[in-house]
Structure formats: C-alpha cells, structure tokens
Structure 1
Amino acid sequence: MDFNDNSAFHSFVISDGDNMQWTMGEFLDSPLYYGNKDENRSPVSWTLCPINLSVVSTSTWNRFVTMKKDNSSVIEYGGGYQYPDEFAKNRPNREELLIEFARRMNWHFKKLNIKIFGFICKDVFSKEARQAYEIYAREIEGLTGMVAIQYSPYNMGGDIIWVKNNKNIEIPIVTAKFSIWSGLFDNPLCGGPDYIAALINRDAAKAAKLKEKKNPLSWTIIHAWSDFSKTAHSTDLPIKGYNASKISDQLLSPQVKNISLHELLWRIRERHYEHSTIH
C-alpha cells in the first residue's frame, strides 16, 4: 500500500453473508453475487460465515477460497447469529461468556486466515457493545479491524470506535458511512447506487477544497436483496448485489479510489496511529 497516496478511498461491502443456507446455495453461482464473471471485477468485499461454512460445508468454503479475487475482502459476519451488545446481557457471567466465545472464534480465525470481524448491533455505541469490542480485540489475534452495522439503519455515518488488542495496539471498529438500500427514503445517507456515488464524490470534493483536511476513508454497506433495476437507467444489467457496487464504482470521480475493506482498515489505522501501523 502506498500510504503517501492522498486520494479519497472507499469500500463497498455486501450484506447478509451470515445466511449460510444462501451461501451454500446460489451465492457462488449467481452473477448477481460471487458468481459474477466480470474479467476485471470491481473491488467489493463480502460478509460471510467462514467459521460455520468451514465446519458444516467444507466443500462450499473450499470452493469460495479458490474463487476469491485479490481485490476483495472476507468479513466473518458475527461468528454466528449473535449481536455483540445483546449477547448474554441477562446472564450474571456475561464477560466470561464473551471471552469464551471470542477464544473459540480466535481458533477458527487463525485456521482460516480471517482478518476482519463484522457484526450487527441493536446499539453500536452502547456500553454492552463496547465491552464486547474490547474483548474481541484482546482475544482474537491478528485482527486488522472490525466493522459494525446498526440493525436499522445499517449506516451510522462512518464513526469509528477504537479499542486495544493484546499488544496494546489500537484496533478500529468502523461503522458504514452510507448504505445502498431500496425504499429507505427517510435516511439521507441511504439510497440507490447513483445517489450514493454522488454522496461519496461530494465528500471527496469537499475535502479537496479544505487543504488541511485529509481525504475521506469510508465504506458503504449494500443490502444484498435490494433491486434497483426499475429506478436506475445506467445499465441493462439487473442492478442488485454485486452489480449495485459496480454501478456506484463506475460513477465515482477520479478523486476516489475503490479498494478492498482490508486495505481501507489499514489506511484508517495508518492515519490515526501511523507509528504502530508502519512499524
């Protein structure tokens, strides 16, 4: 990575990868998702359930690994259907159970070479969520970072929470700045691929005018099931899943570079904690 590149950087992430039945079904074959046959695939990262797949359907996980593109990232989505802020909150030994859960995940993360943990919360900024983030950072070795989705709306403006790992290094939990989701008209940071591309470009243009302000490092969550084919006219393709990210990518200004989520997290770490990141 060229950390001297002062472009605006953005990542697109597809939701709902914790749906194991779907990932074992059409996910790897559908051109709308990982089965897309674009020769030069647009950078897009994927929430998945690697831990569960590697146990329940080894063939599915192995096939995914052979298909993975270098410009994509894999996010372990929740380690199962669990909310960090809700997990064991009515149990007297919540902290003990969180530690046990994190240590189980750590074993799998190391085996599968997973570097990003993602999850849905009812309240991303609650003290219960913060407690879970701190335990995850300490117990899951080698994390590049974490990403947090609010149950509704998915996007929380790109805010970042920092926690320390077991080496006393700050690890970011980054919320989505925008979401590509059909029909959520009351959310100004949510809309179709063209609308979100315009917001990303707007942020980059604003930063370029403020010389003292660094360019944006942000990401968008794409609702896996939203279909924009009837409302967008920039392509004849069904605008859903991967194609939604592709359309947004094509509409980004030259000031913005679309990158994998893994690279984005490293860039966020370098900007805030340059010494511990570079050295």
Structure 2
Amino acid sequence: MNNRKKIISWMTILLILMACHPLYTTAKAQDPEHIYVIKTSEMSAEEATMIATLQGLLAQQNSKIQLYLDREYGGYQTWLKDLEENYGIPYSYTDNPWELVKKSKIKDYILFKKGDDSINSATSLAGVTGAIAVEESLVGKAEFYGLKEKMDVRGKDEKWVKDHYWPQFKKDKIVEQKEDFAFQLRDFAVKEKSMIFYDGNSPFRSELMEGLKKDSTAFGWGDASSGEDQFISPSSKAGVFTIPSDHASNLSMLSSIKTGPLKQKTADTKRPANKNTHYVTFLMTDGDNVQWLLGDFQSDNRWYSSKERGTFNMGWGISPLLSELAPSVMNWYYESASHGEHSDQFVVGPSGNGYMYPSQYPEKELNKHVKKLNQYMGKTDLHIAQIIDFNSLENKSLWNKYTSQKNIDALFYLEYSRYDTHKGKIVWSNDKPIISAREMLWSGLAGADEKSVIESINSAPRNPESEQGYTLVLVHAWSKSLSDVKTVVEQLNSDVEVVTPEDFTSLIKENVTH
C-alpha cells in the first residue's frame, strides 16, 4: 500500500470512528452577517410566537440575516453586544415584527388558536414544513403581507402531531414546553426540527421519551409540582437527560456562533498541603440550568454580578453543552472570571451533559453518555463533574465508568435529598475521589444557615491526610447569594483555607490516605 493509500485509509477509519461516537451537536449555521433585534415588550404574545418560529427557520436555513429577541433582562443585551464587539457581527433594532416577516421571504403559515394547546402543534410543524406559526387573530395581517395558509392545526394536540408527523422530527432531542410560554425555546425547537410538547407526567410523555434515540436530550422543563424527580427519573430510565431551559431565548441564533478554544483562566498547578489546616471549597448549585446562565445569573448581584465576586475563591457549575448551545456565552463567562489571588472556577453541573440520575440510566446509554461527557470536558476545560443521585455514593462500579475517562479528575456527589446527607464521605474509584457534600447553605433547612456552617467548619479537624480535613459546601442558588458566602468566609478561623474546586480535589488526591 503506498503512502497516499495509507493516508486515505486512516482518514476513512477516523471518519467511521467519529460517526460512531459523535459529540452532541446542534444544527450548525454560518455566522450571520447581520442581526435584526426586536424587543419582546414591543410585541403581543401572538406576534412573539410568530417571530420566534421565524427566528428558528432563519437559523435552520443558514440565513445571512438572523433575528434576536431582546428580553431586556438578564444577560441578553450582554450577549448581543458581545457578538458585535468580539465577533464582528453588527445588529440593528426594529419595532415592527411584520417587516421582519417581509424581509425573511417566508411564504406560508400554520394556523393555530390560542388557548386550545395547538401552539405546540404549530411550533413543531413549523420546523419540518418551513412555515411560521400564526395565531388566528393575526391571519388578516399575515395575508396582507402575502403569507398563505399551509396548514390549520386548531384543535389538534401533540398526540395528533406524533401520530401523523413523528418520522419527520429529529430523534436525538425533544422540547418540553408549556403552552402558555409564547416564545421561549420555540425558536430552538424549530431550528432543530424537534417536536415540542407538554403533557405533565403522563403515559404520553413516557411514550415520547421511549421513542427517542438513546442518550438523547430533553430541552425545557417538566411538571415538578410533586418534585423534579417525578419527571427526571422516568427520563433517566429511558436514557434521556434534561437541559433546564424552558425560559431560554435565542438559542437558535446563539448556537450558530463559532468561537476559539474555551479555556478557563485558573492555573492547573498542584499546591502543597499546609499541616494543621482545614480546606474548604464553595460551589453554587444549579449550574446545569441553561436558562439561568443566559438570564439573570449574569446580571443579578446575588450571583455573577455580585460585588463580592473575586474577593474569595468560588466554584460555579456550568453546562458543558453550553459550548454547543451558546459558545459565545460560555466564552464570555470564562473571560470574565476572576483570576489571581482569588479565582472563579467552573465545574460541570449535575449530572454531566445534563440532568439525570446515573444509577437509573440504562448501562449502554450511560457508557455512551460518559464518553461524550469526557469529550465535552476536554473541549471546555472542565475537570470535575457534579452528580445528583439516590443512595449511590458507594456504587463504585457506577463511578468507574466516569473515573476511567481521562478528562474527569473527580466527582462531587449530591444526595437528592439532602445534598449533605453523607457529610463529606469520600469514595475512591480508579484512584480518583467521589466527594460528597459536607455542608450546605440553604435557607429554611436545619443546619444549613450561615452560623451553623461557620461553627461546623471552625470546629472541624485540621488534618489534610484525612477526609475529615476537607469541606465541600453547596450553596443553594435560589435561596442564598454570594454575600451569604462572604459572611461565612469572613468568620472562618485563620487555619481554615478557602480554595477553588480543582485545588480542593488535588489536595485530597495528593494527601488523603486511601
């Protein structure tokens, strides 16, 4: 075989391997040449639905012109400005949604009726027909602008859509979204040709999850009225993980942006342990929540905009799939992180590529999930993954799947209720630690207030060679702020040291007897 044939042969093998083990990907579009922006406050709910489906179609079609919905809250204006300043993509505002329809040259619409649940049917079919969703009150104006009715889905629910159009949808992702959300996440469902539905925790939901490919993604959020485990558990058993994203906007456009390498600022160095010292790391919960990362996590002074950020070492969760869903946003967080004497450091949010319970995931699907997680962690410079599960801390055969991956240095284990059930116990797998939370900051829970956590840490052993010499503190995002963490940090004794999550795990690996 000559050298040229050898090269071709190896290229063929490489392509086959990539096809067998692809990363999760969205339908990629080219970087837009111009973005038209419209404020959601300047549209009716019905117009917003129409524009969201139009936004998704333009992204799906790789249009040079893309749309962006300005929510006027959270990080949405930051992401828009970042695209112009750092990616050279200009934008301009408009206050007329119908002019956007005209510019798009879309010709057809799908008719739905507000209040009869047909909005999800229209959104689903928009993605596979190339028509925008139009509520019946807008028909006159739609036809004035030259649109023609392609389909009438009034009175038709998601079951009707599945019975008639299921083969046309992608089977590696699905969108779970309440019908009263006018525009959120609808653009992404359209772009990805994914079915969008909401049916509570019903047999129909289970049927949809079972009909997906293995290790697929459910975007949005389910019925958590009786606990989020009521829908995460059935999804996990079906080999489907969830990306909390029901309030997210603009994912169709943001997912088309290309960035350079995603690299955290924190240095990858080993530090020697100080004797007679207790080590602590703080980690904010709910980093898997993409809608929060896009929204007010960035802007609210409880979290990333806190004046306290950068005054002590702090751990944050983040979704590794943000590198596909909104890479410019992930890059912004990395570039904006504090670095120096005190650093911000990101770890993978629960429970890997998305929210699921590993002990309930089918074994073959879990193997696939973990391999993809390893690839994503390498791609996004993440080295620690959080896990939420039930009574699984000592299930070493489960963790061996994770720790056998080269990019996974450690796992932080959170018992579903409470996170700190195992009080800092460490289990070892392939010479890597599975570290349980020792303390929590969580409003309303006994022993999870600032005073209790301060007293517990200050009275803890000072012994880096023992697992008792380390405390992982989970900070509940919805009831506690960075100011609350600062209150604890300021009252810790001088022989207590607050470190980043990676320094924390490195100290444990190098010093704890196991």
The Cα of 1:124 is off from its aligned counterpart by 2.9
The Cα of 1:42 is off from its aligned counterpart by 1.8
Match of 2:372 in 1: 104
- Once the two structures are superposed, what CA deviation does each residue of 1:179-226 show, in whole Å capped at 9, x if it has no partner? 1111122xxxx321222011100114xx48xxx979712211111111
- Once the two structures are superposed, what CA deviation does each residue of 1:43-76 show, in whole Å capped at 9, x if it has no partner? 1101221x22111112211111111223232111
Match of 1:120 in 2: 388
Structure 2-normalised TM-score? Answer: 0.44
RMSD, aligned CA: 2.1
Q: Give the Cα separation in 1 of the matches to 2:477 and 2:306.
A: 14
Residues 114 and 179 from structure 1, CA distance in 2 versus in 1: closer, same or farther, beyond 3 angstroms?
A: same
Larger radius of gyration: 2
Q: Give the Cα separation in 1 of the matches to 2:326 and 2:456.
A: 39
Q: Give the Cα separation in 2 of the matches to 1:215 and 1:137.
A: 22
Question: What is the letter of the counterpart of residue 386 of structure 2?
Answer: G
Residues 224 and 55 from structure 1, CA distance in 2 versus in 1: closer, same or farther, beyond 3 angstroms?
A: same
Q: Give the Cα separation in 2 of the matches to 1:149 and 1:213.
A: 20
Question: What is the letter of the counterpart of residue 220 of structure 1?
Answer: V
Of 31-40 and 102-111, more deviation after overlay is shown by 31-40
The Cα of 1:119 is off from its aligned counterpart by 1.4
Structure 1-normalised TM-score? Answer: 0.79
- Alignment of 1:81 with 2:383, yes or no, is no
Q: Percent identity?
A: 22
Do the aligned residues in 1 keep the contact of 2:393 with 2:434 (CA within 8 Å)?
Answer: no
Match of 1:202 in 2: 459
The Cα of 1:272 is off from its aligned counterpart by 2.8
Residues 61 and 272 from structure 1, CA distance in 2 versus in 1: closer, same or farther, beyond 3 angstroms?
A: same
Residues 4 and 18 from structure 1, CA distance in 2 versus in 1: closer, same or farther, beyond 3 angstroms?
A: closer
Do the aligned residues in 1 keep the contact of 2:425 with 2:467 (CA within 8 Å)?
Answer: no
Question: What is the letter of the counterpart of residue 474 of structure 2?
Answer: I
Identify the match of residue 255 of structure 1 among 474, 495, 499: 495
Match of 2:335 in 1: 66
- Correspondences of 1:48-59 after superposition (within 5 Å): 48-49=318-319, 51-59=320-328
Match of 1:142 in 2: 407
- Once the two structures are superposed, what CA deviation does each residue of 1:150-200 show, in whole Å capped at 9, x if it has no partner? 110011200011001xxxxx0000001111111122xxxx32122201110
Q: Give the Cα separation in 1 of the matches to 2:307 and 2:493.
A: 25
Question: What is the letter of the counterpart of residue 418 of structure 2?
Answer: P
Match of 1:91 in 2: none
Match of 2:289 in 1: 19
Secondary structure at the residue paired with 1:262? helix
Residues 142 and 251 from structure 1, CA distance in 2 versus in 1: closer, same or farther, beyond 3 angstroms?
A: same
Of 36-45 and 261-270, more deviation after overlay is shown by 36-45
Identify the match of residue 475 of structure 2 among 214, 222, 225: 222
Secondary structure at the residue paired with 2:299? coil
Secondary structure at the residue paired with 2:360? coil
Do the aligned residues in 2 keep the contact of 1:179 with 1:191 (CA within 8 Å)?
Answer: yes
Question: What is the letter of the counterpart of residue 292 of structure 2?
Answer: W
Do the aligned residues in 2 keep the contact of 1:44 with 1:242 (CA within 8 Å)?
Answer: no
- Once the two structures are superposed, what CA deviation does each residue of 1:62-121 show, in whole Å capped at 9, x if it has no partner? 111111223232111122011111212xxxxx2x22211111111111111111111111
Question: What is the letter of the counterpart of residue 148 of structure 1?
Answer: Y
Secondary structure at the residue paired with 1:182? coil
Match of 2:428 in 1: 162
Secondary structure at the residue paired with 2:460? helix
The Cα of 1:38 is off from its aligned counterpart by 3.5
Of structures 1 and 2, the one with the larger relative CO (CA 8 A, separation 6+) is 1
Question: What is the letter of the counterpart of residue 429 of structure 2?
Answer: V
Match of 2:484 in 1: 244
Question: What is the letter of the counterpart of residue 401 of structure 2?
Answer: I
Question: What is the letter of the counterpart of residue 141 of structure 1?
Answer: K
Secondary structure at the residue paired with 2:371? helix
Identify the match of residue 443 of structure 2 among 173, 178, 182: 182
Unpaired runs of 5+ residues, structure 1, are 89-93, 165-169, 227-239, 275-279
Do the aligned residues in 2 keep the contact of 1:148 with 1:174 (CA within 8 Å)?
Answer: yes
Do the aligned residues in 2 keep the contact of 1:43 with 1:260 (CA within 8 Å)?
Answer: yes
Identify the match of residue 172 of structure 1 among 433, 446, 455: 433
